[in-house]
Amino acid sequence: MEKKKIEHLAIIMDGNGRWAKSKHLPRIMGHHAGVRAVERTVRAARELDIPTVSLYAFSTENWKRPKGEVMGLMGLFRYYMKSKLEDLCKEETHVRFAGDLEALPDDIVEILDDTEKATAKFTERQLVVCLNYGGRKELLDAVNKIVSEGIKPPITEEILRKHFYLPDLPDPDLIIRTSGELRLSNFWLWQSSYSEYYFTDKYWPEFDKNALQEAVKDYYERERRYGNA
Ligand code: IPE
Ligand code: IPE
Ligand code: MG
């Protein structure tokens, strides 16, 4: 059977807090180190010619965390998007966002909007940052949009998909989760129905090009059958 090229690599970046704890550092330092892992990994994915990378950066459930940590994370998103825009343009990457963005602080929404617009001309490669993303929320938002548009049943897969945050996004071929946790935590629920999963015990701040290469190699050794014999 022919091996399917990775069009969309999705990553659940987990373990920043435990990484920091193991080094006797505050959790926020783990998130800072996580940003460096993002940079390395996005670069490595480009070298591997993967056109779409999506990163789970903040879930709809992450608001439950202590206020200080949530504020620290918001500060990091602000800083990252502002300071990395030039690099992302140099790398010719369209940066897009998936999630309920309206619930984020206004100035962040503005930064995200500017980033998306400034990079929209790049069509070869995209980086999707999932912010205030939850698979259940995405499905509910889609259903509510469909109802408010007065669309009558039968609702097809195609209609539902058209109402997702990024309707044109291909489903993830490979989903990597770091830190040894074996769960999806509300990521790409609909889109992951035939994704391949790869779990590693490495904490996200330890993830690098070699780790990505290992995951990709593992993926290419698998056979995707989609229910076929
Ligand atoms: C992932 O690392 C980053 C986010 C969820 C924002 P964690 O912060 O979940 O790290 P652990 O799982 O507590 O180690
Ligand atoms: C998943 O990690 C969310 C992100 C990586 C943004 P969590 O650390 O929030 O997931 P749980 O709570 O361990 O399931
Ligand atoms: Mg975690």
Q: What is the 185 CA–ligand 2 centroid distance (Å)?
A: 6
| Cβ of residue 56 lying under 6 Å from some atom of ligand 2 | yes
- Which helix (H) or strand (E) covers residue 55, if one does? strand 52-59
What are the residue ranges of helices labelled H in the chain? 16-22, 27-47, 67-90, 106-119, 135-148, 157-162, 209-220
Q: What is the 17 CA–ligand 1 centroid distance (Å)?
A: 5
Active site residue 144: no
Distance CA 80, CA 92 (A): 17
Q: Using the predicted structure, report yes or no on whether residue 1 has a pLDDT greater than 70.
A: no
Q: What is the 67 CA–ligand 2 centroid distance (Å)?
A: 16
pLDDT band at 182 (very low <50, low <70, confident <90, very high): very high
| Cβ of residue 58 lying under 6 Å from some atom of ligand 1 | yes
pLDDT tens-digit series, residues 93-116: 999 999 999 999 999 999 999 999
Instruction: State which amino acid sits at residue 22.
Output: S
Active site residue 106: no
Average pLDDT score, the chain: 96
Residues 6+ apart with CB under 8 A from 29: 20, 23
How deeply is 112 buried, as exposed, middle or buried, from its count of CB atoms within 10 A (0-12, 13-18, 19+)? buried
pLDDT at 9: 98
